[in-house]
Amino acid sequence: MEALIAAEQLVKLYQMGEETVHALDGVSFTIGRGEYCAIIGPSGSGKSTLMNLIGGLDTPTSGRLIIDGADVGEMADQNLAQFRNSMVGFVFQSFNLLARQTALENVELPMIYAGIDPRERKERAAELLARVGLGSRMGHRPTQLSGGQQQRVAIARALAGRPALLLADEPTGALDTHTGEEILQLFADLNKEGATVVVVTHDPEVAALTKRTIEMRDGRIVGDHMNESVAA
């Protein structure tokens, strides 16, 4: 399988007062194109730091992180912004929708920064909302939608820039179990259609619903295995 993400000896240090924290302490792995995988670990394990690096929100202290052939560590702000816009689709635990805008406008947002023509992006946003099952709720504002529906809007928004990678941070954390399973099923469906999906979570049950689990602890990878039940 062709590697979409290749990390070599990734190190990320934070200065917390006098103390230096090794958030990532030499992490190496690859994630192939078309994978559906979970990064799991307790809080402080470095999984959020890793997610920020993969998402282009932060740069590593040392080591190399190649995503889709590009070295993220070498990028300046402008290139990182473009990388986030076109390469990564973020899905957050708390949805992070703009409260004053409709579902459709929220999905349009990344395409605005890509400079896409208004008519074209409205069409695409409508298609995406239909894809996540919200075709009839495009004009609703986030407050008029349930948590699961809001997360679906967020997923449609993440897909808007046709990213190489869907990056979800505790996507089910704010949802009940049933709705959470529906969201993970949506990820599985999108993965079947070809999307690479990485879910960051502390919940083993969530991780178990993906195809591969990378387990982290204290800034290192302590486990990496395929989830047979789903793969089968």
Contact 89, 187 (CB under 8 A): no
What's the closest the beta carbon of residue 223 comes to another protein, in angstroms? 26
Provide the mask over 179-208, with x wherever binding to another protein is found by CB under 8 A and - wherever it is not: ------------------------------
DSSP state, residue 144? G
Give the footprint of another protein on residues 53-92 (CB under 8 A).
55, 57-58, 77-78, 81-82, 84-86, 90, 92
DSSP state, residue 135? T
- Edge-to-edge strand ranges of the sheet holding 36-40: 88-91, 165-169, 196-201, 36-40, 212-217, 220-226
Provide the mask over 85-124, with x wherever binding to another protein is found by CB under 8 A and - wherever it is not: xx---x-x---x-x-x--------xx-xxxx--x------
User: Tokens 């239909």 sit at which residue?
Assistant: 130
Give the footprint of another protein on residues 132-171 (CB under 8 A).
157, 161
Q: What does the block give as tokens for 110?
A: 């990344």
Instruction: Name the segment binding another protein (CB under 8 A); options: 50-58, 129-137, 194-202, 224-232.
Output: 50-58
Residue type, 110: P
Residue 184's contacts (CB-CB under 8 Å, 6 or more residues apart) are: 171, 172, 199, 206, 209, 210
Q: Is 43 in the site for another protein (CB under 8 A)?
A: no
Residues that bind another protein (CB under 8 A): 52, 55, 57-58, 77-78, 81-82, 84-86, 90, 92, 96, 98, 100, 109-110, 112-115, 118, 157, 161
